[in-house]
Amino acid sequence: MSLTTLEQVFLLIAREAEKQAAAADGRTLSLELPLENGRVVRIDVPWGVEKGVFSETGDEVEVHWLQDDEGRLQYAHHMWRGEKIAQQITENGKGCCSCCC
């Protein structure tokens, strides 16, 4: 059994408060998925949300967030999931979609 620290509780409350404020402000994180022939599909993920779906391709993106000392969310990294992106990774041979590496 483990006890939640006061700091963990603060960070959880701060995270939820920031997500709600970002939703009210319409704040998003814009990500782009490169497809064949140089075509790019864009998705705007609401700030703080950890998963988004590209409606055109069905591919998913997992977004990873960090929190600073005051509990503010900071974008850390994203990872693509789906058939189209698997094809891109195979084609470019980089082990990544080439959007950020």
Binned at pLDDT 50, 70 and 90, residue 4 comes out as: confident
Q: What is the mean pLDDT of the chain?
A: 81
Q: Which domain holds residue 56?
A: 6-92
pLDDT one-digit tens code per residue, 82-96:
766 666 656 665 555
Q: Which range, of 46-55, 64-73, 82-91, averages the lowest pLDDT?
A: 82-91
Task: Identify whether the C-beta of residue 21 lies closer than 8 Å to the C-beta of residue 50.
Answer: no
What is this structure's pTM? 0.69
Looking at the domain assignment, is residue 69 inside a domain? yes
pLDDT at 24 over 90: yes
3-state secondary structure of 59: coil
Looking at the domain assignment, is residue 98 inside a domain? no
Q: What tokens does 64 get?
A: 């990873």
Looking at the domain assignment, is residue 52 inside a domain? yes
Looking at the domain assignment, is residue 31 inside a domain? yes
pLDDT at 27 over 90: yes
